[in-house]
Amino acid sequence: MEAKHLSNVLEIRDNNCFRMVRKIASGGMGTVYEAVQMGTEGFQKTMAIKMLIDDVAIDQEFVDMFIGEAKLVADLVHENIAQVYQLGKYQNSFYIAMEYIHGVNLQEFLEAHTTKGKRMPVDLGCFIISRVCRALEYAHSKRDKNGSLLGVVHRDISPKNIMLSFEGVVKLTDFGIAKAANMKMNREGDVLYGKVPYMSPEQAAFKVTDARSDLFSLGICFYELLAGEMLFDEEETVVTMRKIMREDIPPIRKRFPDIPPKVEEILLKALERDLNKRYQTAGKMGEDLEHFMYDGGYGPTVITLNRYLRELFPEKMRF
């Protein structure tokens, strides 16, 4: 392998050649760059490269989690999941080459509404969450080559990990702390995984999680989309965790009577603390959202979201 530094451009050469264009984001275990993969005869493909942060690259536990993410997501091929193409090594660290999504994450989407004093249309919020449901339905039910259930739990469903491409496609990203039955390292019960304001009661209580935990976290994101504000504010960690485990969910229709009763019903079922009363599968939650959107006729599609994003982020459009 050979690497070449040219001002702010980094070229990685192993079996492929990537030219880093710009840093997109940094946090958690890695830094994500927009990059161009270059091949013969002038071939170029825009990709995203996620590289381990130097500080964590020396920690074997983080390295194992990073490698685990790449191996897990490699076989998760779904239109609503950001695709992983390659796990590679650069100097003494690793990188993941993945699908580049020209768009914004759900947090940026929410912030744009706050800045412009807008409320998002309810049916569009339902569409976005329904697509994440379908991504989770696929991941949760994924089996290995022998037919055994992988037992995937994302454990980090939050606005930063839900991308909206400007083509109108919703993508679930960052399986960095996901767990699966075949993963060697899983310290659940001893280590707190995930972003605290978006944790399920099981996560906050240091209990073992299953697929239903992701649905509670998705319910928190759904509430934020509908209300335009966080359900569990980012306060002191212990206070937020206590709220997640015990505080009543505020009735959203008292504040926003225009929200249809069916939507509130779906939201509250996702946010049930009792696991047996919560949605048992992402597929069922997605189905209920789709019935709400389409039973009466024409509902939102990728084109609807595409047009809405173009109006909301005209400065980010490339074409």
Length of the chain: 319
Domain spans of the chain, in order of start: 2-99, 103-316
Superfamily for 103-316?
A: Transferase(Phosphotransferase) domain 1 (1.10.510.10)
The mean pLDDT value for 94-100 works out to 92
pLDDT computed for residue 7 by the predictor: 39
pLDDT computed for residue 191 by the predictor: 62
pLDDT above 50 (res 199): yes
- Other beta carbons within 10 Å of 270: 25
pLDDT band at 102 (very low <50, low <70, confident <90, very high): very high
pLDDT computed for residue 8 by the predictor: 46
156 catalytic residue (yes or no): yes
Options 64, 144, 156, 214, the catalytic residue: 156
CA 113, 114, 119, 125: dihedral to nearest 10 degrees?
Answer: 60
pLDDT computed for residue 56 by the predictor: 63
Architecture of 2-99 per CATH?
Answer: 2-Layer Sandwich (3.30)
Note the pTM of the prediction, 2 decimals.
0.90
- The highest-confidence range among 1-5, 244-248, 278-282, by mean pLDDT, is 278-282
pLDDT computed for residue 51 by the predictor: 87
